[in-house]
Amino acid sequence: MAGVRKFDETAVIDAALRLFWQRGYGATAMADLADATGVQRGSLYNAYGGKEQLLLRALDRYAELQGSAVVVALNDPDPRRAIGGFLDAHMARMANPKNPAGCLMCQIALECGGRHPVPSDAVRRSFLRTEIALCQVLQRGKEAGLLPSGADAPALARFYLGVSRGMAVLHRAYGDLDPVRDVAREALRLLDTA
């Protein structure tokens, strides 16, 4: 029957995700993706349209796989515990030896920003969703009296988004979690004075 895919789509996307995370977008060719997925280039083109479309699917899958711990953490009604859990979820991803260093979203943001608008927009939307979720946690905490009344929830949300992304960049650069833990610890202290 024509048009029926004869491969495990989840396995293909997971293999592409890992390759993009390890090498980046520019250094990954369709031939590399074919080797990593075990699917011929022609079949990948027919199924996904090209490298950019595979990257978009990989970014969606990454958000699905890595985002659940973040969502759980941000459901905590206490803003300090929620932000601590948010940062811990990112450190747990980095501590997992099965994962490449850093963060796929950060890597694509740095590599594609301004040069590849479609993946850049996908990453921007992901970052904005996280920023909004952080802002909601902080605003609820402020309204519940758990943060000072003068706390600027939107600015703090952007700060913690930036901290989490900076932690990923440090992890990618150093390959070590100690600097990442230092950043998270010091960033949490800010909530004691916010």
Provide the CB-side half-sphere exposure for 171 (13 A, CA).
28
CATH of domain 58-192: 1.10.357.10
Question: What's the pLDDT score for residue 4?
Answer: 47
Close Cβ partners of 29 (under 8 Å, ≥ 6 residues apart) = 51
- pTM of the predicted model as reported, rounded to 2 decimal places: 0.91
Burial profile 127-166: b = 16 or more Cβ within 10 angstroms, e = fewer: beebbebbbebbbbbbeeebbeeebebeebbebbbebbbe
Question: What's the pLDDT score for residue 148?
Answer: 86
Question: What's the pLDDT score for residue 190?
Answer: 87
Determine contact, residues 167/94, Cβ cutoff 8 Å: yes
Per-residue pLDDT of the chain (194 residues; tens, 9 = 90+): 345 467 899 999 999 999 999 999 999 999 999 999 999 999 999 999 999 999 999 999 999 999 888 989 999 999 999 999 999 999 999 999 999 999 999 999 999 987 899 999 999 999 999 999 999 999 999 999 998 888 999 999 999 999 999 999 999 999 999 999 999 999 999 887 76
Determine contact, residues 55/120, Cβ cutoff 8 Å: no
Domain chopping of the chain, boundaries = 58-192
